[in-house]
Structure 1
Amino acid sequence: MKKSIPPAVASACIWALLVAPVMAATPAHDVQAGRYRIEPGHTQITFSLLHLGFTPYSGMFSGISGTLQLDPAHLSASRLDVSVPVSSLYTPSDRLTGELQGADWFDAGRYPNATFTSTSVVPAGAENATITGNLTLHGVTRPVMLHAHYVGAGVNPMDKAYTVGFAATATIRRSDFGIRTYVPMVGDDVTLTIAGAFEKQD
């Protein structure tokens, strides 16, 4: 008996065939230099911390904006500026989301944005870099180190924009930024996992 392929699976296969040759094969050193802008629809920051010593618990920020001045030939000359709306914070619990945006935690009304401005970019092999910069969160500015990995680049077949993508991780202590509620019952160390898509502007 001949089995039909579900439409969703067929669409995913077609999408992979279209995108993979365009986006995945570009070596990091062949990425186009220039000024890039964050594409917010495919850029997100996930945070994770230990909850009561039982399980890690995660949430997400979206609606992120910013720019990247990228020079693959002289990566140390690159510069990254990012702004994150705290009100975009999301967790699986509506109640918890509201609490985290409130005064005892991120206090989104008083501190509506978190920002990151790079101060140095140090290559670590062909596709990795350490990005050091100043993170301002909850009204406090501290140095933070991002471990970034190049994912791919090419023309996005959907909107025809030349796009470059990176993944990055970092670990911060929330108490360093004045967010101390329930420490140590709720973990102080916060892992950040970042997916960044950037569209070329010139």
Structure 2
Amino acid sequence: MIVALLNQKGGVGKTTLALHLAGAFAAHGRRSVVIDADPQGSALDWSQARAASSAPRLFGVVGLARETLHREVPEIARSVDHVVIDGPPRVTALARSALLAADLVLIPVQPSALDGWASAEMLRLLDDARIFRPELRARFVLNRCAARTIIARETAASLEQSEHRVLAARIGQRVAYPEAAAEGRLAFERDPDGPAAVEIAAFAAEVLEVGA
């Protein structure tokens, strides 16, 4: 399965979700690779930090910020169980190529009316891609949710008005994620029984169910 995390809006947590999704897959014995398709290269930076800390390798990270993703990623996918694409913000040609490569698109959205509106451009690109890939599936994922806030429910309700559903799994606003990233690690490695580990496990399980 090839999963692409995409949103034309930056700063919604695509890289964090991509790395943790690949890590959750790897923790269950699935061979995974992250494609860093963002010219900023944050996933590659994380991989370098991990290598410097001598942490064990969980999955590969490959830099591929090129408009030929749709031709190259399927070849990479032949040797692994899952490919997770960390997509670029605002780079439309790259995003289109990632859409054409993917089996499932995850659109991270923060609980905010502004983020909900900003997803409209991503949905237009998705509609264009489905002309060529009518089987392409997409889901919204609410990220950086504060506990028990009305705005998260309102954002989810607003997004549900599109044809693409919102994943039931929600990812919280937790310091565990940036703290782990600074060490080249994943939140569930630092605290295997913590709330971040629980929500990432639920997120990965739901992605596998949707992608099945």
TM over 0.5: no
Bigger radius of gyration among the two: 1
Larger helix fraction of residues: 2
Q: Normalising by the residue count of structure 1, what TM-score does the alignment of the two structures yield?
A: 0.27
Q: Normalising by the residue count of structure 2, what TM-score does the alignment of the two structures yield?
A: 0.26
Larger strand fraction of residues: 1
